[in-house]
Amino acid sequence: RADGRALRKLPVHVGLVVTEEEPSYADMASLVVWCMAVGISYVSVYDHNGIFKRNNSRLMDEILKQQQELLGLDCSKYTLEFANQDKTGQVLNCQSTLKVLSPEDGKADIVKAAQNFCQLVAQQQRTHSDLDVNMLDNLLSSTNGFPDPDLVLKFGPVDSTLGFLPWHIRLTEIISLPSHLNISYEDFFSALHHYAACEQRWGK
């Protein structure tokens, strides 16, 4: 937590995007727990084959195990909500929310937002000319419930985010790392340090 406070700025939402073919549950769990420990509020885990999403209970078990190992007695200070559960969420013990995503998630959000807008037009609450960037932003945030990612850590040799939340990352800082396999806390914190030092000009 002291490392997080030492940074000039800390991302609110971090996307962890794996482009490698063989995702590691243990290494991804370490990354999630490190995000929790430094004080990041929202974490999204994504791989383009949807392996983590299909096996999210296995990932959750690994996160619980790593939380005990890495945070020890301090783990009671950290609560993680698993946002993919239909119930209110499995609570681990950090004030972070985790989503496990696959390629259909970003596209489904856009489809749902478009349907909501069409309903508003049909009910004559909006006209078709009202649709702009801000309106779509508002519709997406109402369906998604997460702020847009400030930072994406992309792991692997592919120079693409491979469909990760296509609309939500247009203002996101993307940092590429060679692999998530055997990643060290020093590599993770170095990426956060790089993000804290970057100046985002928002197209100016």
Dist. CA 137–CA 182, nearest whole Å: 37
Dist. CA 6–CA 17, nearest whole Å: 25
CATH of domain 1-103+145-197: 3.40.1180.10
The residues near 118 (Cβ < 8 Å, ≥ 6 apart) are none
> Is residue 140 pLDDT above 80, yes or no?
no
20: amino acid identity, one letter: E
In the numeric block, the tokens 């009910």 are attached to 123
200: amino acid identity, one letter: Q
- The tens digit of pLDDT for each residue in 50-60 reads 999 999 999 99
> Is residue 94 pLDDT above 60, yes or no?
no
Token code pair at residue 60:
């959750």
Domain with CATH 3.40.1180.10 in the chain: 1-103+145-197
Task: Give me the mean pLDDT over the 71-96 stretch.
Answer: 54
What pLDDT band is residue 91 in, cutting at 50, 70 and 90? very low
What pLDDT band is residue 171 in, cutting at 50, 70 and 90? confident
DSSP H or E segment with residue 185: helix 185-197
